[in-house]
Structure 1
Amino acid sequence: MHNDTIVALATPSGSGAIAVIRLSGNDAIALASNSFKSVSNKNLSVQPTHTIHLGHIIDGEKTLDEVLVSVFKNPNSYTGEDVIEISCHGSNYIQQEIIQLFLRKGCRMATAGEFTLRAFLNGKLDLSQAEAVADLISSDNEASHQIAMQQMRGGFSSEIAKLREELLNFASLIELELDFAEEDVEFADRTQFKQLIERITFVLKRLIDSFAVGNVIKNGIPVAIVGEPNVGKSTLLNALLNEDRAIVSEIAGTTRDTIEDEISIGGIGFRFIDTAGIRETKDVVESIGIKKTFEKIEQSQVTIYLFDAQKNIETLEAVRIEIEKIRNKYPQKPLLVIANKIDTLSDLQLAEINKNIADVLLLSAKTGFGVEQLTNSLLNLINTGALRNNETIVTNSRHYDALLKAFEEIQKVQHGLETGLSGDLLAIDIRQALYHFGEITGEITNDDLLGNIFANFCIGK
């Protein structure tokens, strides 16, 4: 299936200064050589790998463009095959003319992710590294970029491979015992085996627990900003984004629908959602907005409750009751309580707020005071210690599922060791654990799985 030569645009579609067209396959260099006229009369087919050549792409007597052609010979290329990359001018017309030329000469249009698929099939990347390529392309903040880079370099793969290798060695010894069952001998030291299982259990727990952090880093953390009308929710959103994203006015109920925008704080993506003010209203449109507010609280992972410190200084008990209602309704959801508009209050009034509202953050969205403390509080809710320590963090739900299944089988092995289970039954559970480890790196896979993974890639990668 993958012995033909494929071609695709490797840069984003549309006009630009430069476009890159990539070919990969056994005939890539020969096909490029037949359509390339070097300015110094070089024969492209005999040029060494990892070299770049100036010339023109020609179609018969017609010159299509002046280009730079990069040559990468197998196995020292991204795909492990002969690869040609043509850097041409970024005109849509030129791009299509060059691609159509190579299609007429026998190339096939690459499918989504087919270059990376070939890299996997040719042993240049394992499956988790291949998936990290897609994550790297889609990373939009420092943290997700760092995780994708670490995974693409093989940090996660090497950790799984080491565990799998050690487990495989013991599995081989236990299988050997089965061949000598009549002699009643033990080739696998049960004490060492127990220590290995304990170590694997510890690592698996750490990797599984890291998914909670990794998932929010990869996808961004939704934060709902809620409160009564006209307490400064839209002003706070604008202060966080440092732009006038939301309409601000003194009229209660100005925000009729939710407004969303995303920023990066400390390398972590946060998606802030400015919601309609919560109050009793007969306005049909505003009522729909308030209903959506509660939907957004359900969908968010963090809630910011904002109240007007100036307006509510005499009714702090009512504010405290509202806060308790939200906490009781969403007990597992982090809640940050903010007293806004504090720039109009005295020190005595601020002390009264601190006394009545536990863990309140004092802020003035209008002047920007307290915004930095808020962003620090948001970061403190996320366990980024693993990032700073360069630990492996799991962000892929497929890996998470395989780790959970492997952990379940390892627990069975551990229970079997403690209860003196026979070697043949231990071997069954060990084989299942090995199977799930192999699913992560692609040592065990199938066409459906590969199709699902690479269908999400862009065409030129």
Structure 2
Amino acid sequence: MNTTEDTIVALATPSGIGAIGVIRLSGPDAITIAQKVWKGKDLTKQPSHTLHFGRVMDGDMELDEVVASLFVAPRSYTRENVVEISCHGSNYIIEAIIKLFIKNGARAAKAGEFTLRAFLNGQLDLSQAEAVADLIASNSKASQQIALQQLRGGFSNQLSHLREQLVQFASLIELELDFAEEDVEFANRDQLKKLIQEITKVIGSLIQSFELGNAIKNGVNTVIAGRPNAGKSTLLNALLNEERAIVSHIPGTTRDTIEEVLNIKGINFRLVDTAGIREATDTIEQIGVQRTMEKISQSALLLYVFDAAQITPEELAADLQSLQTPGVAMLVVANKIDLLSRKDGKSGSPQDESGINELLSDFRTSGLSDFIGISAKEKQHIDELKQQIYAAAIKENLSGHETLVTNIRHLEALQKTEESLVRVLDGIDGVTSDFLSMDIKQALHYLGEITGAVTTDDLLENIFSKFCIGK
């Protein structure tokens, strides 16, 4: 059972030795508990949002010189009295101060309990509280911007507005049930139909945004695949601008997957360099090829790399057909364009763009998908490839202002809301008011689950148990 009657304490900074550690107290007795062990100005008489230098005392023994940050309710993160003690980052000192606070009436906080209290006390709604965890876990500019936008209430405000409109019609339909014997309609069915269609359109747009939102939040799974010696590992090194993978002229050098993260325009791409796809010559290589196919099926984007100087259009077409995977976007990369010979027979002479395009046109005229020509070894057109990788994964322009769904819990609630609204539309001209009311109430319920207007202890436990202790 959730309660805010006691005072909780935890380390708010990461554990481990550092310059400082911040210990957070929150609850009705936070200031008085801190005062019991404090030597300095009387904290109970100080205004909110002030800093105070003093000492933490365990009886006559001084534990540390610290700075106390004071936040008086309701002007705090949790809307409770909050004291944050900035002490030296010794594990011994931090543990000693926390134990001292517990001895004087506080208890150890559970995972996410500070943010849970912020939610229970009305400081944040549930989607904003979840955005706190996303903001802490953000590892790119784009994921940070989305989490910040949700923390500021952009998602919540949009859903609250939709819910308010539905509530108004639900109230009118409930009123009709009270006058069932009079056979009157208080809710205009045409207006209700128009509203449901508008809301369904917005809900559908939010559901569609999940693919992009999830990619930004968790990164885009991107597999580099192709035949042995096509230059996959060289390409990985060129994209990362470092020697991450072993490069050799011997086919089959890469026998297991290598994974690295590449950031393009604020989006993380989780690159996976895989074993070459061919008939394996031994058991180990066979396992590597199997893992390659598994990684492709789990990816969002496939970079198929081929040796433009060796492969025929027919072989390329066969490879592309075998690698087509539902739900996986494919970008075809012609590598080793630096080795292409001019058609005038002067092998090894410098290549101009027109000559290279003429040679590559043999592949394009074979009815194959368009592709980009690069030299991973010479790092030719790598920047252009990065732009195409970004465009293939992020199909929309990101302004930072649009609402994107990044949370699977929110997605499921939106899908259930949409299903309920479809039932309302299907029955609006034929079913009785009590059935309409039931479907609208279900839609309101699922929308309420997102923002926390509808909650259960199990739901809150599941969400906040994933937070770090101290947040």
Q: TM-score, normalised by structure 2?
A: 0.93
Q: How far 1:52 sits from its partner (Å)?
A: 0.7
1:21 is matched with 23
Q: How far 1:399 sits from its partner (Å)?
A: 0.6
1:139 is matched with 138
After superposition, the Cα gap between the structure-2 partners of 1:178 and 1:281, relative to the gap in structure 1 and judged at 3 Å, is closer
1:300 is matched with 299
In 2: Cα distance, 1:227 partner to 1:95 partner:
53
The answer on whether the counterparts of 2:145 and 2:400 sit within 8 Å (CA) in structure 1 is no
In 2: Cα distance, 1:105 partner to 1:200 partner:
53
- Residue 339 of structure 1 pairs with residue 334 of structure 2: yes
Question: Aligned residue pairs: how many?
Answer: 453
Identity fraction in percent: 56
Q: Secondary structure at the match of 1:87?
A: strand
The answer on whether the counterparts of 2:25 and 2:83 sit within 8 Å (CA) in structure 1 is yes
The CA deviation string for residues 11-38 of structure 1, in whole angstroms up to 9 with x for no partner, is 0000111111100011100011121212
1:360 is matched with 371
Q: How far 1:305 sits from its partner (Å)?
A: 0.9
Q: How far 1:389 sits from its partner (Å)?
A: 5.8
The CA deviation string for residues 345-397 of structure 1, in whole angstroms up to 9 with x for no partner, is 24535422233243121011112111111111111123463631611110111
1:257 is matched with 256
In 1: Cα distance, 2:372 partner to 2:145 partner:
31
Query: Which residue of 419, 432, 444 corresponds with 1:422?
Result: 432
**Residue type at the aligned position of 1:420:** G
2:345 is matched with none
The answer on whether the counterparts of 1:386 and 1:392 sit within 8 Å (CA) in structure 2 is no
The CA deviation string for residues 408-429 of structure 1, in whole angstroms up to 9 with x for no partner, is 1111111122x33221221111
After superposition, the Cα gap between the structure-2 partners of 1:254 and 1:382, relative to the gap in structure 1 and judged at 3 Å, is closer
- Residue 403 of structure 1 pairs with residue 414 of structure 2: yes
- Residue 321 of structure 1 pairs with residue 318 of structure 2: yes
In 2: Cα distance, 1:25 partner to 1:174 partner:
43
Q: How far 1:331 sits from its partner (Å)?
A: 4.2
**Residue type at the aligned position of 1:273:** V
The CA deviation string for residues 428-453 of structure 1, in whole angstroms up to 9 with x for no partner, is 11111111111111111111111110
In 2: Cα distance, 1:457 partner to 1:331 partner:
35
- Residue 55 of structure 1 pairs with residue 54 of structure 2: yes
Q: TM-score, normalised by structure 1?
A: 0.95
Q: How far 1:106 sits from its partner (Å)?
A: 1.8
Q: How far 1:311 sits from its partner (Å)?
A: 2.6
After superposition, the Cα gap between the structure-2 partners of 1:366 and 1:303, relative to the gap in structure 1 and judged at 3 Å, is same
1:438 is matched with 448
Q: CA RMSD in A?
A: 1.4
The answer on whether the counterparts of 2:331 and 2:392 sit within 8 Å (CA) in structure 1 is no
The CA deviation string for residues 295-353 of structure 1, in whole angstroms up to 9 with x for no partner, is 111111111111112233xx2322222222222xx143211111111122245354222
The answer on whether the counterparts of 2:8 and 2:107 sit within 8 Å (CA) in structure 1 is yes
After superposition, the Cα gap between the structure-2 partners of 1:2 and 1:343, relative to the gap in structure 1 and judged at 3 Å, is same
**Residue type at the aligned position of 1:318:** E
In 1: Cα distance, 2:255 partner to 2:392 partner:
29
The answer on whether the counterparts of 1:316 and 1:353 sit within 8 Å (CA) in structure 2 is no
Q: Any residues of structure 2 matched to 1:37-436 within 5 Å, and which?
A: 37-38=39-40, 42-312=41-311, 315-327=312-324, 330-345=325-340, 346=342, 347-357=354-364, 358-383=369-394, 385=396, 387-388=398-399, 390-417=401-428, 419-436=429-446
The answer on whether the counterparts of 1:354 and 1:360 sit within 8 Å (CA) in structure 2 is no
In 2: Cα distance, 1:303 partner to 1:260 partner:
14
Gaps of 5+ in 2: 343-353
After superposition, the Cα gap between the structure-2 partners of 1:223 and 1:14, relative to the gap in structure 1 and judged at 3 Å, is same
**Residue type at the aligned position of 2:358:** A
The CA deviation string for residues 179-237 of structure 1, in whole angstroms up to 9 with x for no partner, is 12222222222222222111111111111111111111111111111111112111111
In 1: Cα distance, 2:269 partner to 2:211 partner:
15
In 2: Cα distance, 1:69 partner to 1:299 partner:
50
In 2: Cα distance, 1:408 partner to 1:32 partner:
52
**Residue type at the aligned position of 1:431:** K
The answer on whether the counterparts of 2:222 and 2:299 sit within 8 Å (CA) in structure 1 is yes
In 2: Cα distance, 1:224 partner to 1:215 partner:
17
Gaps of 5+ in 1: none
